[in-house]
Each structure stands twice: as C-alpha cells, then as structure tokens.
Amino acid sequence: MKEGNYAIYHQEYIIMAEYRMLQTENLPGIYVIPSHENSFLWYGVIFVRSGIYGGGVFRFTLTLPEKFPDDIVPTVTFTSPIFHPAVESTTGILNLKEVFPQWDRKQNHIWQILKYLHWIFQNLNMKVPVNNEASMLLKKNRKSFIEKVKECIAASVEHVYDDPPTDDKHYITFKPYDPSIHDNARNMMLKPSNTNESSHGISWVQSGSYQSFTKEDTT
C-alpha cells in the first residue's frame, strides 16, 4: 500500500473511531451521523428538552479540518436560526474557543464538542460572547431575550419536516407519525428483550473490535 493511500485510510479509521466513541457517551437529545459522501462532514440535530430553549429542534453540521486530528478545531455550524450569545448571528458558527483554544489529538475528541453543544443551552453566560446583541439582552432585558429565543424555537419546530436540502443519504430527516407505518416499529422497540445483550445498531466498527467497516457476524 502506498504511503499516501495508507495515510488516507488511517485518517478515515480515526474518524470512524471518533464516531464509535459517541455511543459510550451520554449525549441526551443529540443525533449525529457522518455524511454518506464525505466523512469530514457530519449532520446533527439536537432536541433541547429543558430550559429557555426547551422544545427547540436545532440542526447543525460538524465539519472536520482537512488534516484532522492534527489540525485546527472542528467547526460546528447551526443551520437552524438560533439566538444565543455563543453563536455568531450571521454565520451560525458556535464559538468553541472558550473550551478548545487549540486541538490536541491526545486530549480532545468530537464527543467533547457535542457535550459542550448540549451545555450551552443550559448555560448562557459566555466569557467572550460572539453575539453581542444576545448577550446584552440576556443581561439587561431578559424578557426580550426570551421572546427572541421563542421565535427561534417556533421556527425550528415549523421546519422539522422540511425536505432535505441535499441528496446525501445520511442527512437526518423526520416524518410525521403515521400509525399504519410506525406503530409496528414502536411496539417492537417497546417489547422486552429476551437476551441480556445490549444493542447499539449497525456501526462502522464492531463492538470489541478496531477493524474498519465491520459488523457482528450473525451467520
């Protein structure tokens, strides 16, 4: 195998291992998956369940730098409009500099970014806000701040069922509940398991293995 090809394969392996780590972390209400076309682009959705932003369903993308993990900090960009001191109003980019001034491959992982993403919806006071309007209203006119947040929540819910803006097979989509389609799946999920084995669904890396593109052999 040529050195360049090996480097690409090794990088893909690292990205897949990062994705596998997410299954071991407590990331309530957060769903992410790498793009089918580009493993450096991840699609995500967070369902905020409590606090001022409770009820919001905010979409975001996570973009890995070209030389990940030996590069700059990955970028989180909200594609749903969101009014928050830590989110740039014009770009939707989440400010990660407070917690990740630089990226250390030995210390930092993608799950930590997602933990922080969850944290900001319960902790609004940023040391260095990137949306000054949101920060000012939060401190001086909380009522107006909450009104703007409610507008974002309403807009996010209104667009939950929108058609995907891309043909990517891994873009996360939602459909209204249809009993004729979903009741059977719901009943299967609620049915008690007959085994003690835990299931994490299909993964790029088999549980207990570090071999790429594997899944449990059921034969």
Give tens-digit pLDDT for 65-79. Answer: 999 999 899 999 999
**Which of the pair, 69 or 200, is modelled with greater confidence?**
69
SS3 for 219?
coil
Could you tell me if residue 197 is inside a domain?
no
Could you tell me if residue 112 is inside a domain?
yes
Rounded Cα distance between 125 and 137, Å, is: 11
**Span 175-202, mean pLDDT?**
74
pLDDT at 219: 47
pTM of the model: 0.81
| Residue percentage of the chain with pLDDT more than 70 | 85
Q: Can you give the CATH number for the domain in which 102 is found?
A: 3.10.110.10
Q: What residue spans of the chain are helical by DSSP H?
A: 3-21, 110-119, 132-140, 142-158, 179-190
195: pLDDT strictly greater than 70: no
Tokens at residue 44, please?
């995500």
- Residue-wise DSSP of 159-218: TTTPPPSS--TTS-------HHHHHHHHHHHHSPPSSS-----S-SB-TT---BS-----
pLDDT at 194: 65
Could you tell me if residue 117 is inside a domain?
yes
**How many Å is the Cα radius of gyration of the chain?**
19
Q: What residue spans of 22-128 are helical by DSSP H?
A: 110-119
pLDDT at 202: 38
Could you tell me if residue 188 is inside a domain?
no
Could you tell me if residue 190 is inside a domain?
no
Could you tell me if residue 189 is inside a domain?
no
Question: Rounded to a whole number, what is the distance in angstroms from the first to the last CA of the chain?
Answer: 31
Q: Which of 20-29, 59-68, 115-124, 134-143 has the lowest mean pLDDT?
A: 20-29
72-82: b (≥16 Cβ within 10 Å) or e: ebbebbbebeb
109: pLDDT strictly greater than 50: yes
Could you tell me if residue 44 is inside a domain?
yes
Band of residue 15 on the pLDDT scale cut at 50, 70, 90: very high
- For the chain, how many structural domains are there in total? 1
Q: Which residues contact 19 (CB under 8 A, 6 or more apart)?
A: 32, 33, 34, 42, 110, 204
Rounded Cα distance between 139 and 129, Å, is: 12
Rounded Cα distance between 61 and 40, Å, is: 10
Could you tell me if residue 194 is inside a domain?
no
Q: Which of 9-18, 33-42, 66-75, 184-193 has the lowest mean pLDDT?
A: 184-193
Band of residue 58 on the pLDDT scale cut at 50, 70, 90: very high
Domain that holds residue 147: 13-167
